[in-house]
Amino acid sequence: MPHHDVSDPGALSRQAAGATVGVLVVDDQAVFRATAFSVIEATPGFEALGAADSGAAALAALERLDPALVLLDVRMPEMDGIETARRIAALRPRTVVVLISAEEPDELETSVQGCGAAAFVRKRELAPALLRRIWALHRPLP
């Protein structure tokens, strides 16, 4: 996964106007899912479509909810976020997947590279401005 500077202030001006960005939150911890929903709902132009607590539930929700953006926890039991990201990329290549973790990027395995995710975000950094910048940088072109 290439490193992208999501702190680029000019990225906001490149964001598409109009359509609401539907977001699926995937995390095995209910507390973080609630926190992510709060951030999404506080971000104009974004809507929390639903949540999943596992990779398998995320794949089922992907079909049902058709999100444009998936916030995906790296560490989950059974199917982790890396494998889930690979499957989402294969099923829905235009869906933007953002890996989220409490860990620092250099603490994660190299398997994060090439899994199809557009960006990596530390959970503590998730905020409306960051969400908008990520979308502006990685949204699929029409």
Does 95 fall in a domain?
Answer: yes
DSSP result, 45-89: TEEEEEEESSHHHHHHHHHHH--SEEEEES--SSS-HHHHHHHHH
At 86 the pLDDT is 93
Predicted TM-score (pTM) of the model is: 0.82
User: The tokens of 26 are what?
Assistant: 């995937």
Work out the pLDDT band at 105, boundaries 50, 70, 90. Answer: low
Q: What's the mean pLDDT in 76-104?
A: 90
Does 98 fall in a domain?
Answer: yes
Residue range of the domain that includes 87? 83-109+118-123
Beta strand pairing status for 96-101 and 119-122? parallel
Does 8 fall in a domain?
Answer: no
Does 10 fall in a domain?
Answer: no
Does 6 fall in a domain?
Answer: no
Does 105 fall in a domain?
Answer: yes
> Looking at the 3D structure of the chain, how many domains does it have?
1
Does 14 fall in a domain?
Answer: no
